[in-house]
Amino acid sequence: MPANKTGSSPKKKKSRRLRLIVIAVVLLLVGGVGYGTYWSISTVRASFPETTGSLQLKGLSGPVQVKRDGYGIPQIYASTPEDLFRAQGFVQAQDRFWEMDVRRHMTSGRLSEMFGSGQVETDAFLRTMGWHRVAKKEYDTKLSPATKKYLRSYSDGVNAYLKDHSGKELSVEYAALDFKNEGYKPEKWSPVDSVAWLKAMAWDLRGNMQDEVDRALASSRLDPDQIEDLYPSYPYDRNKPIVQDGALDRATDRFDPKATSTETTGSGTGTAPGAGSAAQGLQTGLSSLSKTLDKIPALLGPNGTGIGSNSWVIDGKHTTTGKPLLANDPHLAPQLPSVWYQMGLHCKKVSSACPYDTAGFTFSGMPGVVIGHNQNISWGMTNLGADVSDLYLEKVTSDSYLYDGKQVPFTTRDETIKVAGGKSRTITVRTSNNGPIVSDRDDELTEVGRNAPVGRGGDGVAPDRGDGYAVALKWTALSPSNSMDAVFGLNTARNFTDFRKAARDFAVPSQNLIYADTKGNIGYQAPGKIPVRAKGDGRYPAPGWDSRYKWSKYVPQSALPWELNPERGYIVTANQAVIDKRKYPYLLTEDWGYGARSQRISDLIESKIKDGGKVSTEDMQSMQMDDSSEIAKLLTPYLLKIDIKDEYVGEAQKLLEGWDYTQDSDSAAAAYFNAVWRNTLMLAFGNKLPKELRVKGQCMRVRPADDSGPAEDLDGNTRLVRECGTRDPDMAQPDGGDRWYEVVRKLLKEPRNDWWKSPGSRLDPGSHNRDELLKNAMKDARSELTAKLGKDINSWSWGRLHRLTLKNQTLGTEGPGVVQWLLNRGPWNLGGGEAAVNATGWNAAGGYGVTWVPSMRMVVNLDNLDKSRWINLTGASGHAYHAHYTDQTEKWAKGELLPWAFSKSAVDKQTDDELALTP
């Protein structure tokens, strides 16, 4: 890589400034006037891919056709798998190389090489976890020869494109990057770069790590019972789990009583964390760890209790086609371009030598199709949510840590982080037998565990805290697996047996896999590498010095739940519990999604099929856009019973009369209810949480956490101190997800519960019971919406509050303002909402803006695959101002789906551009 310049002369700076202005003007002209006139301007036009004619691609054994429809979605036809994946790499590099380059630098902890010193801390944390190192071990030791061959072919295709393109020819972002990192040139793509992306997705879907941290942080202000109030048990009797009539293959795996541990309290020691000063050391350390963890979701998306996905499948007895229909819409952070890339991969003649005939959604930078269908089966995915990560407190002395009474030396390695425009940084990564020491990545984390409320653990008293415990991360994704093999296995599966065989390789991220085939079968398989804890349940940081809290083994693949053709005729997965824990011997997690979405989908299906009704493709599409609010159904009757004497507030209250609980973008009632819900949460819970869980910059006067005395001292002076939140808005609590639905559901029946009490002030009387707090929330919501939307309630709409802005990766979030303006798109006013089926998520603590979305939607018709439908959040292209940059977004926002051609004849009819790749 060329050396980075550490400074520039005034003349150079002026020259660069001028170039930036020129580029800005060019892009403004392109965006404002139209494509035809200005496409000849090299800075913008140079990166647009060639999609017609003929190009030579070195290494091909025969000609390959790339057919693109009117939305630029490619379908590739080749005679061998190697040619197919070589062409896939070439085509994805044409459309999305900037995205691919940013992703691989993230997964390898090398963002600083592109963007400078601002990414050093993020890189240090990623290097500590070692995603790229693990991916390399997977490639070297775990993956099948065929998978490795396909990964090499894919890399060859990417590198063939790089050989003939650089700088602005790759994308306009490289032209902008050149101002900060002059002379940057992408290095060759490697197979490990592709494998590492699965680590990033595993992180995005890592389960309950944030809940584990949040519970520990909450202990500084809340007692154990209060914390349990905020994490209620799953409502199995009301919201049905995924597997109801399924099977467990446990013929070779006896029931293991250790695996049914139901300990639910304590820092992994059986003793719940106490409140007050005893928790301050753990509080300080874990709050810093939480901030460090948040740096990664800033790139990948939030990880909270509301985020998830929907998928469901209905058998032919209940569909208008007589064959199954399968729907899927994964919920992820909005990105521009979308995290997904649509394409088809077709062998010209399907045979054992070339078995691929598949289409769907994949990731740029990775061969194969991740979600979609082939000629025989279709499959979808949602996050299973299994608890596959634990934080361990470690007693450290010098260069060793305590384990079962003995000092064990750390395994260490040095990592050098190269920094664009600056000096390289070297870090030392320490690893215990519980995983890498993540607390080393922040100065404050050296305080982790000081006075930590671990109680009595192990065979006696917890070890002396000294300067505090360190924190290690144990996570299944940090052990090599062969998940990449599963992708190719799913792509070529012909039946349910093949499907389950492929699923066995899908170690991380642990996903719910649903299934349908052209013969009429539907099914489900829970795959994944899921730990069994010898002691404890993973809800709090565990004592790393006690071997009884280690992971004793993994749940046998033969014991993971599955279903085939259940009698009810459909299967729904939407991040709810997989199976009733009262009927299952293994602990998968205690932190499921709470089933609001899954049960709504089940209810919609039941309402269609009762009395012999049939579900159509259009019905499936309509269900995906269902925006009914479960919490509104529960809470609104209470709100309407409150006597509001203030006409100003009463006017808003009347919006809820006769409301059907749907959250259309133009609904004034939805806007007001969601504002009431947000303010209810803040008054009842948010203002009582520690600053580490509250929104950064939101300040209030509170009693110190270690002060249990009266609000005033003997001289009448207040004991209250000003305290400001520290968490990013997208990750703060209470987030308003369906966990909070369950919290409030219970409390509504207890009108004098202490949670309803809210302290007052000179201007605010506070509240002493449920109705007083709800009245105050309605008043606050009226004032808030008046300020945001105006005095006239007839002009209010949910969509004006609930907006989506699509931001280009990295430069669209942290680049110069003009660059952000040029690369980003939106806003769009959206309907839907938190824990609705149309899950346009928002964080109630942080505001109403959209923080995660259905990142794509598809409905697969197993009777006629050419009548399937799909849509992406953005478009096929990653090039700003290209026709396919965001050409699907408007339709996506309206809930429309595009025709999805699959057969060669159907693809030919939809083809607008055809490119021949020749040897």
Write down the pLDDT at residue 34. Answer: 40
Write down the pLDDT at residue 178. Answer: 81
Write down the pLDDT at residue 29. Answer: 43
Cis peptide before 734 (omega within 30 of 0): yes
As a whole-number percent, the residues of the chain with pLDDT over 70 amount to: 83
Does pTM top 0.85 for this prediction?
yes
Mean of the per-residue pLDDT values of the chain: 86
| Residue 902 reports pLDDT greater than 80 | yes
As a whole-number percent, the residues of the chain with pLDDT over 90 amount to: 69
CA neighbor of 786 nearest in space, from 775, 795, 776: 795
Rounded Cα distance, 554 and 400, in Å: 28
Q: What are phi and psi of 180, to 5 degrees?
A: -95, -35
Instruction: Answer yes or no: are the C-beta atoms of 379 and 330 closer than 8 Å.
Output: no
Single-letter amino acid, residue 810 = T
Rounded Cα distance, 239 and 224, in Å: 26
pLDDT digits (tens, 9 = 90+) for 471-507: 899 999 999 999 999 999 999 999 999 999 999 999 9
Instruction: Answer yes or no: are the C-beta atoms of 358 and 486 closer than 8 Å.
Output: no
Write down the pLDDT at residue 256. Answer: 38
Rounded Cα distance, 686 and 675, in Å: 14
Stretch 144-173: mean pLDDT, rounded?
A: 95
- Among the residue ranges 78-92, 719-733, 866-880, the one predicted with the least confidence is 719-733
Write down the pLDDT at residue 444. Answer: 36
The gap between the terminal CA atoms of the chain, to the nearest Å, is: 30
| Residue 4 reports pLDDT greater than 70 | no
pLDDT digits (tens, 9 = 90+) for 232-291: 999 999 999 999 976 665 433 333 333 333 333 333 333 333 333 323 445 555 665 666
Which residue, chain included where needed, has tokens 């979308």? 338
CA neighbor of 189 nearest in space, from 106, 104, 81: 104
- Among the residue ranges 45-59, 489-503, 701-715, the one predicted with the least confidence is 701-715
Q: What is the dihedral of CA 423, 199, 731, 309, to 10 degrees?
A: 150
Q: DSSP of 363-392, one letter per residue? A: -TT--S-SEEEESSEEEEEEE-----EEEE
- Burial letters for 550-567: b for 16+ Cβ neighbours within 10 Å, e otherwise? bbeebbbbebbbbbbebe
pLDDT digits (tens, 9 = 90+) for 437-468: 998 885 434 433 443 446 434 445 777 766 67
Q: Residues 867, 868, 871, CA angle at the centre, nearest 5°? A: 130
Which residue, chain included where needed, has tokens 């404002």? 32
Which residue, chain included where needed, has tokens 């159907």? 906
| Residue 8 reports pLDDT greater than 50 | no
Write down the pLDDT at residue 820. Answer: 79
Give the helix/strand (H/E) hosting 557: none
CA neighbor of 893 nearest in space, from 870, 871, 877: 871
Q: What are phi and psi of 206, to 5 degrees?
A: -80, 0
Using CA atoms, how far residue 510 sits from 10, 132, 201, 503, in Å, is 53, 19, 10, 10
pLDDT digits (tens, 9 = 90+) for 208-218: 888 888 888 88
Write down the pLDDT at residue 585. Answer: 93
User: What region does 236 belong to: left with phi over 0, alpha with psi -120 to 50, or beta?
Assistant: alpha
